[in-house]
A and B are shown apart, each in its own frame.
Chain A
């Protein structure tokens, strides 16, 4: 099979630029294909409903032309407590990210840099939990969080309450510990020389000091990766809050979308709300592209 089998036109001498034209054209067409729904959403969010449908016939659907205004956006705030939803999602995702970084890196530190019985076994079990998608135990988990107790602080001290439904904690705590974050931190910590720990121990540092002062400051890329991979699903979470949060004031952005389909839905408003909850993430992505791409790429390393 090592015989020469030239591409048509490959040897007949057209300049390379011409030969590459079909490939490049494919790239451009695909870029249009992957971008058009998002462009359409953003552009339509500034148009009145009638014009959205009127513009469908031609390229105007993708162009910010015609009767543009912020009417849809103001209408969104009249219809739903959009600001509240945004703040809820922001708080829930931020807390999940911060706790996730701390809890998972601590565990990974213990698993990768300290010697104790059972750590190999524990790491295996933690990685094994990754095969099981959340959806397989989401329903038993709803039942379970409804039974869980919680200590509540009130005027007279502590009282024991039952049930986690309709709280912030039920949106946060189940997603803090994650086998994949532990795995990523573990891999990264392995690459930091252990001699640093030994030197610090001789200098009288404790293990927590080593974690906080030596290992974590060296782990910027791993922290960024875990932050991104925790933030995206937290911001986008839908199935879980749909089931465990009924109270309007506690709802996150994705669940808020349901309000727009209840009575006389307006596509302009729906596109405005969709844009509002998409643009922050899109902006983060465009600002930290390299980190985003690298964190996704690193999620393939275990294969």
Chain B
């Protein structure tokens, strides 16, 4: 019977079979290649996020002879009455509210300073970037020494003011401890976002600047009407990344102050680690993590909305 089918049709059929076969093989190969990454993301990201939602409503402990049981909203009720937790939420917000604009601003200033072509661009960019490649643990330790009552910073303040101003004991004074951590964090992170701003600045077409210079506008006008609008996408990215990093504040606090003095530097993540790891209360820590998760989500959505393309 096959002989009755014209050659042309037979060829086309054979072709479509091999094509379907190739398509199927492509699919299998693709799944095999994506599988390791998908599996790892599933086990170490997706499931843990899901677990935060589940464990927060149980009595789970890190090591426990009795299995976890469902306790409803008990953990959240406890959170609402935990003054240290409430303080940590406040501190986290204050920290973010200070770090986000200051770090973004300083980083933009640095980027503008070295965006112009001049001898030594590379040198300055490298130096401004050094804190970024220094680990936060090391940075925190060095600054702990700098911030001591008789430390370098206060000596500088003394020298600059001819001994008129006596510097505070930065990290041991509840009124200055958080500010000290803010200052150091900006010092460490500004170089990172300087690079991001620089990448953004380089996407602004040069002819816009040429047009501006033909019109002879002032530097400020040029910045306001050419540079700033040109950085819209970069701005969103910078703000969101700094905000999320600021909300995740942990290392500096753990190394420098352990949340003190008088809980003036305790943060959400620091509290989560303290209850979840040191006190082994996984469920309570999951509840804190959940609050943190929701905050991060709200802030990134809000910033995306506020800085959306307006047209």
Contacts and interface: CB of A to CB of B under 8 A. Distances in A.
B133 A137 contact: no
Interface in A248-303: 254, 257, 267, 270-271, 274, 277-278, 281-282, 285-286, 289, 292-293, 296-303
A232 interface: yes
Interface of B, secondary structure class, is helix
A126 to B, nearest CB: 7
A40 B46 CA distance: 43
B269 A135 contact: yes
Contact of B60 (A20, A27, A38, A143): A143
Contacts, number: 286
B114 A106 contact: no
A236 interface: yes
Interface stretch (A66-74, A115-123, A152-160, A218-226): A115-123
Interface in B125-171: 125-139, 141-143, 145-146, 150-152, 155
Chain A CB within 10 A, most for which of B55, B155, B199, B250: B199
A169 to B, nearest CB: 11
A35 B130 contact: yes
Given A116-B31, A140-B51, A132 B45 contact: yes
A50 interface: no
A208 B29 contact: yes
Interface string A165-194: 000000001111101001000000000000
Interface of A, secondary structure class, is helix
A35 B185 CA distance: 15
Nearest to A37: B142
A24 B120 CA distance: 10
Nearest to B297: A131
A297 B199 contact: yes
Contacts of B49: 132, 136-137, 140
A63 interface: no
Contact of B292 (A136, A144, A208): A136
B52 interface: yes
Contacts of B126: 286, 289
A103 B135 contact: no
Contacts of B285: 139-140
Given A23-B113, A297-B198, A257 B44 contact: no
B180 interface: no
Contacts of A208: 29, 33
Contacts of B134: 38, 278, 281-282
Interface residues of A, number: 97
Contacts of A38: 130-131, 134, 142
Contacts of B113: 23, 26-27, 30
Interface in B16-72: 22-23, 26-27, 29-31, 33-34, 36-41, 43-49, 51-52, 55, 60, 62-63
Given A57-B155, A144-B48, A34 B138 contact: no
A19 to B, nearest CB: 12
A106 B135 contact: no
A303 B300 CA distance: 12
Contacts of B273: 138-139, 239, 242-243
Given A35-B127, A110-B31, A131-B297, A115 B26 contact: yes
A227 interface: no
Which 5 residue pairs across A and B have the least CB separation, nearest first?
A303-B237, A107-B37, A177-B40, A139-B276, A300-B196
25 contacts: A2-B216, A34-B190, A37-B142, A38-B131, A38-B142, A56-B150, A109-B33, A110-B29, A115-B27, A117-B27, A129-B41, A132-B293, A136-B289, A136-B296, A138-B269, A140-B49, A140-B282, A140-B286, A201-B22, A236-B135, A289-B126, A299-B196, A300-B195, A300-B200, A303-B237
